[in-house]
Amino acid sequence: MKNNNYKQTEIGEIPEDWDIATIKEVVASANTGLDAIRRAPIVSYDTGIKCLRIQDVSQNKEFENWGFCTVTENNYDKFQLLTGDILIARTGASVGVNMLINENLKSVFNNGLIRIRSNDKILPQFLFYDFQSPFFIHHIDSISQGTSTQPNIQINTLLSFRIPLPSIFEQQQIANFLSSLDDKIELNRKMNKTLEETGKALFKRWFVDFEFPNGDGNPYKSSGGKMVDSELGKIPKGWEVKKLGDLTSIDRGISYKGKYLSDKGQPMLNLGSFDLDGSLKLDALKYYTGDFKSSNTVKPGDIIIANTDMTQNRTILGSACIVPNLFDDGRILFTHHVYGIRIKENVPPNYLYRVLKYDDFKNRAIGYATGTTVLFLPKEAILNYQIALPLELVLNKFNDIYKEIIRKQEFNNNENQFLSQIRDSILPRLMSGKLRVS
């Protein structure tokens, strides 16, 4: 039976049977990664061993998407990532953002990160959830030094943070409960990624390989379907070559004012809403309370395209997403870094979405990018893009199948939104002992 009495401490009220400790007292080691002397090979990221960077942590990249670097055997031993390691961004806009390593990885980390290894007084996963608490986030804000654009934290100051410390048994219970929510959220994300790959494969088979079902249900091209010449090469008989400008128009989003950004108001999709894999992520969603025009809004099912890339790697530029059905208000704002696609003809949005997700269009977007430090995609690169438009019967069959993919993805997204709200609301109460796990 847990003791539900509380005591007042220097960090607030905590359960009587909990202790208090600084992070320094519960860690075995804390150090930064590969230093600036090895910056040149790290920046190349072409060969060598996987190397974790701030952007990998802040964007929660999967292991296969990390970069590379070259290290000596001695440095590999010193900076290797092991199960239970916690990495914290120590500088830049992502200062304080952290990641827990769940398995031994053949990898190292660079000096933009601080690695924390816990001792036997605390479970790594419990400490990780301490770093997710609003108390820790406030601590990071209070100890960040440097300019507003380049804040940084010192290890010794970080280690001075004081946390409530329950028994190992209760730490395990709390960590198990929170991780069960996180595991389900991650499973839903992976399911959506699989669904996206399924949609991609279906599009390629039907509209690139031309193996859509013919009247007898057999693959069209390999069953002897008639192919004719066109500007795009051989296409099925009856299909037409069209420019996207024949089927759509484009609006650019609102050039918003920062003073109207809020934690409530009109939801607003922005450049940060585009994940590196081209999918839509909602944790970067902004809310806006200023004035806007109807042309600055989209609705669920509409298509948006990133028209700007702040880096030279062209990862986000030209990425297309379908607006999810997650908001009570049918109007969702989008910023000037994003295009809203307006369909003029009776063409299923799901088909045009897959056209815009195909590698050929992505390569076109990259080729048309203008700018030196900030890349921009002109409207004409989209409107003048030529496609082979299938017969209406084929389009409708594809749309019927793809609707089910979208339905499953939206179900997973809705569930994740609900689970995230639960997690965020109870995490600070669990970590402070205001809520006990029975």
**What pLDDT does residue 309 have?**
86
pLDDT one-digit tens code per residue, 299-333: 988 999 999 987 666 788 899 999 888 776 678 99
Nearest to 234 by CA among 213, 210, 218: 210
Q: Which residues of the chain have pLDDT under 70?
A: 1-3, 36-47, 145-150, 276-278, 311-313, 328-329
Question: How far apart are alpha carbons 67 and 384 in whole angstroms?
Answer: 35
DSSP state, 32?
E
**What pLDDT does residue 100 have?**
96
Q: Say if 166-213+392-438 and 240-389 have the same CATH topology.
A: no
**What pLDDT does residue 417 have?**
87
Question: How far apart are alpha carbons 128 and 181 in whole angstroms?
Answer: 15
At position 18, the amino acid (one-letter code) is W
Coil, helix or strand at residue 310: coil
Report the run of H or E that residue 69 belongs to, with start and end. strand 67-69
Domain 166-213+392-438, second-level architecture:
Orthogonal Bundle (1.10)
**What pLDDT does residue 44 have?**
45
**What pLDDT does residue 272 have?**
85
Domain 19-163 sits in CATH at 3.90.220.20
Which CATH fold would you assign to the domain 240-389?
Adenine-n6-DNA-methyltransferase TaqI; Chain A, domain 2 (3.90.220)
Given a contact cutoff of 8 angstroms between Cβ atoms, the answer to whether 304 and 341 are in contact is yes
Q: What is the pTM of this model?
A: 0.84
Domain layout of the chain by residue ranges: 19-163, 166-213+392-438, 240-389
**What pLDDT does residue 41 have?**
41
